[in-house]
Amino acid sequence: MQNDKGELVELYIPRKCSATNRVIKAKDHASVQIAVANVDEEGRAIPDSNTLYALSGFIRSRGEADDQINRLAQQDGLIHNVWSYSR
């Protein structure tokens, strides 16, 4: 699709689940996108700096959203030493 300036514009940009790397479909109304604020050494939020995590409805329906957020945040270095149940 083109706008009035003649530039190509996408109407829908698909997201991927941060936990499973699956494409989140447009009709997945149970999916969420969570923005976690990045903080400095004193624990204050850095303006206009956050980390985004998108979780599909599949992960949320299985009750694993909190475990996946902890896992992803540990991988990104946001939190340390969080206990996690491993199967």
Model confidence pLDDT, tens digit, residues 26-68: 899 999 999 999 999 898 999 999 999 999 999 999 999 999 9
Question: Looking at residue 13, what is its pLDDT?
Answer: 79
Domain ranges of the chain: 12-86
Give CA torsion, residues 63, 81, 33, 22, to 10 deg. -70
Query: Other C-beta atoms within 10 Å of 74: how many?
Result: 14
pLDDT band (50, 70, 90) for residue 87: low
Average pLDDT score, the chain: 89
Quote the pTM value: 0.76
Which listed CATH number (2.40.160.20, 1.10.287.90, 3.30.1230.20, 3.40.190.120) goes with 12-86?
Answer: 3.30.1230.20
Higher pLDDT: 34 or 8? It is: 34
